[in-house]
Amino acid sequence: MSPFTFDAVTAVLLIPIVAAAILAILPGYRVTARLNILASLLTLLSALSLLVADRPSPGQYLLIDDLNIVFIVLNSVVAFTTSIFSASYIAHELETGRLTPTYLRFYHAMYQIMMFGMNLAFVSNNIGLMWVAVELATLTTVLMVGIYRTHEALEAAWKYFILGSVGIAFALFGTILVYMAARPVVGEGQDAMVWTLLIQRAAAFDPALLNVAFVFLLLGYGTKVGLAPLHAWLPDAHAEGPTPISAVLSGLLLNVALYAVLRFKILLAASPQAIAPGPLMVTMGLVSLIFAAFMLYRRRDIKRMFAYSSIEHMGIIVFAFGMGGPLANFAGLLHMVMHSLTKSAIFFAVGHIAQVKGTQKIADIRGLTESHPGLGWGLVIGVIAISGLPPLGIFMSEFLVVSSTFARQPLLAIPLVFGLLVAFGALLLRLGGLAFGPPHGSDAPAQASYLPMYAHLALVLIAGIYLPPELVAWFQHVAQLLG
């Protein structure tokens, strides 16, 4: 194991936690915002170095492989760009008095603790430690959702906490069942929780215990993924919390829980007598897609609308991974990356739109391309991308999901395409009023940084036109690992 690789893995975990300790005591907005950006940049550089460095051998606690590097790099990219967006967004919140300097220190410290929790979940080789890391990331976002201390924000935070606690309790019970299945084969102690050892001996585990465990794990972590009918916390958390947290929730935190589900899916696939996890995932994915697609028509709050869009797209991703196979898994990975980049870009736009218009009500936001062209056209491109129109990247990933389904399970393609079309109609229906026509509502000047939003949209456009062969080969290899 090269020292460089060890330093890179350590840095991905150490930089956020050290930055959180410093940010908790530093006064002043400018210094803390810049330090938050710097810490996120250093974490991103450490994550990128893992792509080229020699990887350490798996230990009892940490693991670096092709699967989690996808998530670590994506996590670090979106965390960095969100920290830049957050700097201009939070400056406005300070000026309007919605946040005090004390809450600001708390916000920046929690932001880095959240990054630490997510990165720890990705690199954990111990299923118990992964559970703890997911819970840590969840608790920090709960605290940040309620940071405005309004009645609605506190209610959303409590709802998130209660439903998230139920989900994480299910996930804990599922984790314990996996340990119980492994103990007679692997032995007592930590070895029965080390994922690389579990995957080697999974064929000898009690399949009945694994079957029950996966049901609890899918329900538990599925709550954090935002799958219907376990989604009830997600729209409130998006609507009432700071918009940078909405971007992180949709772009990153949902992926953390998805990663945990995929790890256990691989474990079940290694046990020939265990149930196939695919049908359960396909069912929950389709239910989430179709339910969220119809709910898009009923939203009156712009952040709630895009929260339901996140539920829709997580349904598509879980459906793709449930279908399995090289093409569907490749499409699921690509869709996950494209959704994270696109949805966070949309929330970057929506956050500043809500500030300049003074409202999140869709009825009070009109004619953005005339009143605020930078924000308006950014939202237009983002909605076109998330709707799955060419030539943007989500069109490519959705096309691969649909074509893979047609090839293997043609009947399942019917509800899949139906859900995609229903959601497409809802988003375009809302976009017409939001972006075009005569401006309506207050028109305060925008104090916005457009760079993160347009950087994400540029990446999504490039991915829709051209994917580097190295990236394709990497995703194909990971798709094979997922089974």
What are the tens digits of pLDDT across the range 267-326? 888 888 888 888 899 999 999 999 999 998 887 888 889 999 999 999 999 999 999 888
Q: What is the pLDDT of residue 445?
A: 55
Torsion of CA 36, 42, 44, 48, to 10 degrees: 180
Q: Tens of pLDDT along 433-476?
A: 787 777 765 565 555 678 889 999 999 999 999 888 988 998 89
**How sure is the predictor about 129, in pLDDT bands with cuts at 50, 70 and 90?**
very high
The label of the residue with tokens 């102690």 reads: 189
Q: How far is residue 281's CA from residue 138's CA, in Å, rounded to a whole number?
A: 22
Pick left, alpha or beta for residue 83 (phi over 0 → left; psi -120 to 50 → alpha; otherwise beta).
Answer: alpha
CB-hemisphere CA count at 13 Å for 67?
25
**In-domain check, residue 319:** yes
**In-domain check, residue 160:** no
Look at residue 29 and tell me whether its pLDDT is greater than 90. no
Contacts within 8 Å (CB) and 24+ apart, 188-191: 190/60, 190/126
Q: What are phi and psi of 440, to 5 degrees?
A: -140, 145
Structure tokens at 195: 């994922």
Q: What is the pLDDT of residue 448?
A: 62
**How sure is the predictor about 96, in pLDDT bands with cuts at 50, 70 and 90?**
confident
**How sure is the predictor about 365, in pLDDT bands with cuts at 50, 70 and 90?**
confident
| Number of residues that make up the chain | 483
Q: How far is residue 464's CA from residue 112's CA, in Å, rounded to a whole number?
A: 32
CA 320 to chain centre: 16
The label of the residue with tokens 């993160």 reads: 452
**How sure is the predictor about 397, in pLDDT bands with cuts at 50, 70 and 90?**
very high
Task: Give the 3-state secondary structure of residue 33.
Answer: helix
**In-domain check, residue 251:** no
Structure tokens at 455: 């950087």
Q: What is the pLDDT of residue 123?
A: 92
Please give the residue range of the domain that contains residue 438.
Answer: 276-483
**How sure is the predictor about 3, in pLDDT bands with cuts at 50, 70 and 90?**
very low
User: Count of domains in the chain?
Assistant: 1
Amino acid at 370: E
**In-domain check, residue 93:** no
Are 460 and 342 spatial neighbours (Cβ–Cβ below 8 Å)?
A: yes
Radius of gyration over every alpha carbon of the chain, rounded to an integer in angstroms: 21
**In-domain check, residue 296:** yes
Q: How far is residue 206's CA from residue 209's CA, in Å, rounded to a whole number?
A: 6
* SS3 labels along 175-200: HHHHHHHHHHHHCCCHHHHEHHHHHH
Provide the 8-state DSSP code for 25: T
**In-domain check, residue 265:** no
Amino acid at 210: L
**In-domain check, residue 211:** no
**In-domain check, residue 256:** no
Max CA pair span of the chain: 70
Q: How far is residue 254's CA from residue 245's CA, in Å, rounded to a whole number?
A: 12
Average pLDDT, the chain: 87
**How sure is the predictor about 130, in pLDDT bands with cuts at 50, 70 and 90?**
very high
